[in-house]
Amino acid sequence: MDTLRYTLRKLLYSVPLILGVTLLSFTLMVYFGPDMAYEKLGKNATEEDIEREREKLGYNKPFVVRYGNFLTSVLTFDFGESFSTNQRVMDMFAETIPVSIMVALPGFILGNLISIIFGLWAAYHRGQRLDKTIMAGAVVGMSISFLIVVIVFQLLLCSDYGLNMFPTTGWEVGMNLEEFNILDYFEYVTVPAICTIFVSVGYNTRFYRAVFVEELTRDHVRTAKAFGCGPVRLLFKHVLKNSLIPILTRIILSLPFVIIGGSIIIESYFGIPGVGSVVYDAIVNGDQPITKAAVVCTAILYVFFLTLTDILYQVVDPRISLK
């Protein structure tokens, strides 16, 4: 009951944030956005046609009214139809988001796990050679552009110039239970997952190591050591649990970006029909209803996850109570 009330209150607090994001995206994408009348009617429309279309689109109305209309469309999750495919945007999202999650999740989870282990390991050996090696590796990883990673791994693993072990592009994986085949899935997800891991491990390891190093300097760690605690238990019981708040925050708050368009590059480059590809096309073609929807949906998810972290904090840390 308490948790419910707390959650509701937190969600209430997030209303200004949602309003802010919608205002921002409205101003940038609709108010200052391109004139849709031209785009819709094509090159050889008459002056009157355009004028009528603009009237219909509500371009002549004042800012507040137009923003109100925009808000209504947000609240009803009705972002209209895509300019290029004429499909309903929300239908397109519903179709492609599951694919994106399946593409992104393995790399995301493994990337974080690997980084946490590296981070613990490096932090425990802080200042020693092992730490320096791991951190040097992290800097190298951080210095390579995502696009380069994608190009190189595709070349090495998916082409005749390299090992040619995986399909170059595409996503021929059944998306419902009967058609789903785990081997197909592995075949298509491996290279994207490797790319995701490669680009994220550098940043994540640095972040996690800093968190763990900080925790390792705390008094209670010294106490644990003074009572004979070994390194494995020390790291995985005492240090890890105490550092869960920054770790969870980082992981959970990056989820919205992973779910919606987080893998724009991977999906477009590997030709995977996920929401990232849809967003990529929308950006390249200036397909406004889609970009608008992506921004707003991510923001809403973000705010939702933000509330979730707040609630998780209490589970993780007994000192934080429902206040």
Partner 1 sequence: MTNEQNKQETIKKETLWTKAVRKFFRDKMGVISFSIVCLYALIALGVACGFWATEWSELNPDMKNTGPSADFWLGTNILGQDIYQRAIFSTKTAFEVGLVVALVATMLGAIVGCLSGYFSGTWIDEFFLWIIGCIDCIPFYLFVAAVGFAVNTLAQNLNASFGIEGFEYFAMHIAMIATFWTATARLVRGEVIKIKHLEFVEAAHAIGVPGPKIIFKHILPNTFHILLVQATIAFVSAIKSEVILSYLGLGVKNTVSWGKMIAEATQEVPAGIYSNFFAASAFLFVLVMAFNIFADALQDALDPKKVS
Partner 2 sequence: MTTPLLSVKDLVIEFNTEHGLIRAVDRISFDIFEGETVGLVGESGCGKSITSLSILGLIPSPPGRIGAESSIKYQGKELVGLPEEQLRLMRGHDISMIFQEPMTALNPVFTVGNQMMEVIMRHKKVNKKEALKMAVKMLEDVGIPAPEKRVHNYPHQLSGGMRQRVMIAMALSCNPHLLLADEPTTALDVTIQAQVMDLMGDMQKKQNMAVILVTHDLGVVAEFCQRVIVMYCGHIAEVGTVDQIFNRPQHPYTKGLLASVPRVLEEKVEFLPTISGTVPDLGNLPKGCRFADRCERATEECNAKPPQLTIDEKTQAGVACYHPYK
Query: Binding marks (x or -) toward partner 1, 5..24, rule CB under 8 A?
Result: -----------xx--xx-xx
Residue 28 dihedral angles phi and psi, to the nearest 5°: -75, -45
Q: What is the DSSP letter of 29?
A: I
| Residue 68: its H or E element | helix 63-75
Q: Are 240 and 293 in contact (CB under 8 A)?
A: no
Contact call for residue 303 and partner 1 (CB under 8 A): yes
Taking the complex as a whole, the smallest distance from the CB of residue 243 to partner 2 amounts, in Å, to: 10
The DSSP bridge partners found for residue 81 are 88
Q: Is 262 in the site for partner 1 (CB under 8 A)?
A: yes
The item of partner 2, partner 1, none sharing an interface with residue 219, based on CB under 5 to 8 Å by kind, is partner 2
- Tell the smallest beta-carbon distance from residue 95 to partner 1 (Å): 19
Q: Which partner from the list partner 1, partner 2, none does 175 bind, CB cut-off 5 to 8 Å by kind?
A: none
Please answer whether residues 113 and 236 qualify as being in contact, where contact means their C-beta atoms are separated by less than 8 angstroms: no
**DSSP label at 28?**
I
Pick between residue 36 and residue 229 the one whose CB is nearest to partner 2: 229
Question: Which of 3, 174, 220, 285: binder of partner 2 (CB under 8 A)?
Answer: 220
CB of 237 to partner 2, least distance (A): 8
Neighbours of 256 (CB within 10 A): 20
Distance separating alpha carbons of residues 204 and 202, to the nearest angstrom: 6
Q: What character string, x for contact with partner 1 (CB under 8 A) and - otherwise, covers 47-66?
A: --------------------
Alpha carbons 169 and 155: distance in angstroms, whole number: 11
Q: Are 121 and 232 in contact (CB under 8 A)?
A: no
Q: Which does 34 bind (CB under 5 to 8 A by kind): partner 1, partner 2, none?
A: partner 1
* 218 touches partner 2 (CB under 8 A): yes
- Closest distance to partner 1 from the beta carbon of 176 (Å): 28
- Asked if 220 and 162 count as a contact pair (C-beta separation under 8 A), the reply is no
In 10 A of CB 200, how many CB atoms?
21
For the chain, the first-to-last Cα distance in angstroms comes to 13
**Binding of residue 278 to partner 1 (CB under 8 A):** no
Q: What SS3 state is found at 81?
A: strand
For residue 260, state whether it binds partner 1 (rule: CB under 8 A): yes
Q: Residue 297 is which amino acid?
A: C
317 binds partner 2 (CB under 8 A): yes
Tokens of 284: 């390249």
Q: Which residues bind partner 2 (CB under 8 A)?
A: 126-128, 218-220, 222-230, 233, 237-238, 241-242, 316-319
Q: Which residues bind partner 1 (CB under 8 A)?
A: 16-17, 20-21, 23-25, 27-29, 32-34, 126-127, 139-140, 142-148, 151, 154-155, 159, 161, 168, 210, 213-214, 217, 256-257, 260-262, 264-265, 269, 279-280, 283-284, 286, 288, 291, 294-295, 298-299, 302-303, 306
